[in-house]
Amino acid sequence: MIQLIRLLLVGAVGFTLPLCAQTPSDAILMNAKQACFLLDYNYASFDHYWEGAVKRDNQTIAMVKRNSVMPMVAVGIFDNLNLYAGVPYITTESTMPNGGRFAGANGFQDLTVAVKYRWLNKQFEKGQLAGLATLGFSTPIANYLPDYMPYSIGLGATELAYRAVVQYKYNSGWYLRGAGTYLWRGYAEAERAYYYNDGSYYTSLMDVPSAITAEAVVGKWLFSNSLQVEASYFGAKSLSGDDIRAYSAPQPTNRVNLDRIGLFAHYFSPKFTGLGILAYYNRVVNGRNVAEMNTTGVGLTYFFNYRK
């Protein structure tokens, strides 16, 4: 169920943030009594990126590092409807030496609020089929500057995420999951009155391309459902946008496409009820106007009943 948190967040932060938390009962919603806290930390870095379709490095920025901490809460409102909210705090900087000597950035990024609804839950002889739909809304809560790439901590645009998830879980513990998302994105606001995006724009508003994403996951529950492991592919494609111009900084109007692969594990303590730890790694393997980002993260989850 809270697996969806992470699907939400993947889109919410312009694909650059890592996969986030996953929770024990993958395709089962928390019931109307339960809640969950998650605290996630991840470190991400890149020293190559795709300028248009051409992969390159750039000593002006050397290696860019990003640290993120995100608290998140998930609450079962109804048995088939959960609510999520979370906001990351992010810092970025370049390694020394670098040719640009730019200051990094830091601050709270976007608040994400989402509801997830289960529209299908069917038991078969060999397993269980679940279908879920998510509506997510995210928007910047602080005055960070999206037009300061690659150090910007976010895209700076309001985003609506429409997502469908289908999962089939075998009785053996194996499961397959697929998800597809449409991400509508609004405008980022720059601090300049003119910019070039395949032509002149006399405004500080930048149209951030909307996007579609697709995800495929294979996973398994091990050791009496105390350890969950999975491998995933995630792909995203902007529906409009321009390319990063030669030897130039990216900007929020860019068309961002990427293919990413990842590993994820979540362990639930048999000793301390409700407590779990998770770890993940993912890597962008191909893309357009995107960083070749490597992300490593760890997190803590805690489940409890918030009412009787």
Partner 1 sequence: MLHARTVLVFILFLLLFLLSCEKELPRYYDFQGYEFASVDPEGGTWKPILIENGAAISIPAPESTTSVPYLQEVEQLKDEMARMSESDVKAVTYWTQNPIIRWNEIALELIAKYNLIPGPNADGSYTLPNPANPNGPPVFPFSHPPYAVRALAYLSVAQYDGLISAWHHKFANYRPAPYIQDKSIQPLYADNVIPSYPSDGAVVATVSRRILTQMFPLEADYLEEREAEHLRCLLLSGANVQSDVDAGRVIGDVISSIALARAATDGMKDAQAPKPVSDSLAAAALDRFGWQWINQEVPQRPVGLTPLFGRVKMWSVDKVEDTRPAPPPAIGSPAYEADVAVLRDYAQNMTQERRRIANFWQDGLGTYTPPGHWNEFAKEFIVKYRLNPLRSARTFAYLNMAMMDGGISCWDTKYYYHYPRPIQTDRTLATIAGTPNFPSYTSGHSVFSAAGAEVLAYVFPEEAGVVRGWAEEAAISRVYGGIHWTFDATVGTEQGIDVARYTIDTARKDGAD
Contact window for partner 1 (CB under 8 A) among 20-28, 84-92, 167-175, 239-247: 239-247
Cα pseudo-dihedral 31, 109, 94, 232, rounded to 10: 30
> How far is it, in rounded angstroms, from Cα 266 to Cα 227?
6
Tell me: does residue 135 bind partner 1 (CB under 8 A). Answer: yes
CB closer to partner 1 out of 240 and 269:
240
CB 247 within 8 A of CB 58: yes
Binding segment toward partner 1, per CB under 8 A, in 95-103, 214-222, 231-239, 282-290: 95-103
Provide Rg for the chain, Cα atoms: 19
Spatial distance between the Cα atoms of 142 and 144, rounded to a whole number of angstroms: 6
- Per-residue contact string for residues 39-78; x = within reach of partner 1 by CB under 8 A: -------------------xxx-x--------------xx
Q: Does 80 bind partner 1 (CB under 8 A)?
A: yes
The helix/strand/coil state of 51 is strand
* CB nearer to partner 1: pick between 187 and 267: 187
- 99 touching partner 1, by CB under 8 A: yes
Q: Is 172 exposed, middle or buried (0-12, 13-18, 19+ CB in 10 A)?
A: exposed
The site for partner 1 (CB under 8 A) is made up of 58-60, 62, 77-78, 80-81, 97-104, 115, 117, 135, 137, 143, 145, 147-148, 158, 160, 162, 184, 186, 190-196, 199-203, 205, 207, 245-249
